[in-house]
Amino acid sequence: MSTTSQPTNPNLRKWIIAISIVIPVAVAALFGIKIEGVDFSFLPPIYAGINAVTACLLVLALIFIKSGKIQQHQKTIQIALALSVLFLLCYVAYHMTSDSTPYGGSNKILYYFILLTHIFLSVAVIPIVLFTYLHAWEGNYQKHKKWAKFAFPIWLYVAVTGVVVYLMISPYYS
């Protein structure tokens, strides 16, 4: 396996950049589309649960790698990636079929701080996680480890704050 900084497939980097741009733009565009007659109001607790499981898997993946259990680490990260994709699909489906729920709590500053940092970092984490994964896939473990030091806390923050945002907004769902 390669430990150099030369990519095994430079096109993968272009794909990661493209995906990192297309996903946030598509999500933003899809917020402008409302599909009537479909009820996905059951999805918020499901995608909050997906975020919670993802957060647990990220911690488990860290424990595995610190214990030298590389294959378990790899499988756990792959499951966390798949859950992140599933979360995104559920999130978009809900927001394309439901109106936004206004926050009605008394601690609006805290809520909007958590929400805005969650949104901003959920966009930023896409290329960070994908490049981190790519470095491992290419066998460049030194680079993977350097990137993972940034990817892990950001991805974990996004997963945990997704649950927190849900818990804060859930009393106001109609």
Q: Which of 111, 136, 162 is nearest to 61 (CA)?
A: 136
Average pLDDT, the chain: 93
pLDDT of 3 > 50? The answer is no
Cα–Cα–Cα angle for 144, 79, 3, rounded to 5 degrees: 20
Tell whether 156 is covered by a domain. yes
Tell whether 11 is covered by a domain. no
Tell whether 59 is covered by a domain. yes
d(CA 171, CA 111): 13
pLDDT of 4 > 90? The answer is no
Tell whether 1 is covered by a domain. no
pLDDT of 5 > 70? The answer is no
Q: How confident is the model at residue 127 (pLDDT cuts 50, 70, 90)?
A: very high
Tell whether 32 is covered by a domain. no
CATH number at residue 90: 1.20.120.80
Give the model's pLDDT for residue 7: 54
Host domain of residue 70: 39-172
Q: Give me 65's structure tokens.
A: 């790698």
d(CA 156, CA 59): 8
Tell whether 141 is covered by a domain. yes
d(CA 55, CA 150): 15
d(CA 148, CA 141): 10
Give the model's pLDDT for residue 137: 93
Tell whether 20 is covered by a domain. no
Tell whether 17 is covered by a domain. no
pLDDT of 162 > 70? The answer is yes
**Total tally of structural domains belonging to the chain:** 1
